[in-house]
């Protein structure tokens, strides 16, 4: 059995998909990405991989670029890739692979933290001008009287007291209906 057919059998067994099926479900496309990545890393050409999958070589180029981009961000895809790669290589994870797995995990965590930091920075920039006001309100608001302070601020800005309105009027004033 050729490497291409052997890998196809392994991936189809492990991921329970038929990678030659004419379909674009996520599971099926991810299986094709994994198939392509493993074979490209072993030196197979885009043409030979495309021929086995019934795809054009440019599709294989696209698969290669896409999976290389996604492996650093998609934990589940990375796990599927490593599972299939190990099964194909028929060996236990080496120390190098363990380090590689850890690095991939750390890259994913780093991406998540960078994303959270960006969100925080957007909020910080948005509310920076209000920091002195927030500090003042925090210092002078006794615990348990937050609702009263909220009502007073709302009345100051909007000219009405929310608790004096009916439920329908409150919802309408607050943009809910």
Tens digits of residue pLDDT in 126-151: 888 888 998 999 999 999 998 888 88
Q: Is residue 30, in this structure, part of any structural domain at all?
A: yes
Whether 123 and 148 share a structural domain: no
Whether 57 and 122 share a structural domain: no
CATH of the domain at 65: 1.10.1750.10
Whether 99 and 76 share a structural domain: no
Whether 60 and 40 share a structural domain: yes
Whether 37 and 103 share a structural domain: no
Decide if 83 contacts 14 (C-beta within 8 A).
yes
- Domain count along the chain: 3
Q: What is the pLDDT of residues 102-127, one digit of tens each?
A: 788 888 889 889 999 999 999 888 88
Count of alpha carbons within 13 angstroms of residue 89, beta-carbon side: 15
């Amino acid at each position: 059995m050729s490497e291409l057919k052997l890998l196809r059998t392994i991936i189809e067994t492990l991921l329970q998909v038929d990678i030659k099926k004419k379909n674009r479900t996520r599971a099926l496309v991810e299986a094709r990405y994994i198939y392509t990545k493993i074979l490209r890393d072993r030196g197979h050409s885009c043409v030979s991989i495309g021929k086995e999958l019934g795809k054009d070589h440019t599709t294989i180029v696209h698969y290669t670029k896409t999976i290389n981009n996604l492996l650093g961000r998609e934990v589940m895809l990375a796990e599927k890739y490593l599972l299939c790669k190990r099964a194909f290589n028929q060996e236990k994870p080496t120390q190098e692979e363990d380090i590689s797995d850890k690095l991939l995990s750390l890259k994913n965590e780093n991406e998540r933290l960078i994303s959270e930091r960006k969100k925080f920075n957007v909020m910080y920039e948005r509310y920076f001008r209000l920091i002195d006001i927030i500090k003042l309100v925090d210092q002078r608001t006794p615990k348990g009287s937050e609702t009263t302070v909220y009502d007073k601020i709302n009345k100051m800005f909007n000219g009405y007291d929310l608790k004096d309105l009916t439920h329908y009027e409150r919802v309408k004033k607050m943009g809910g209906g």
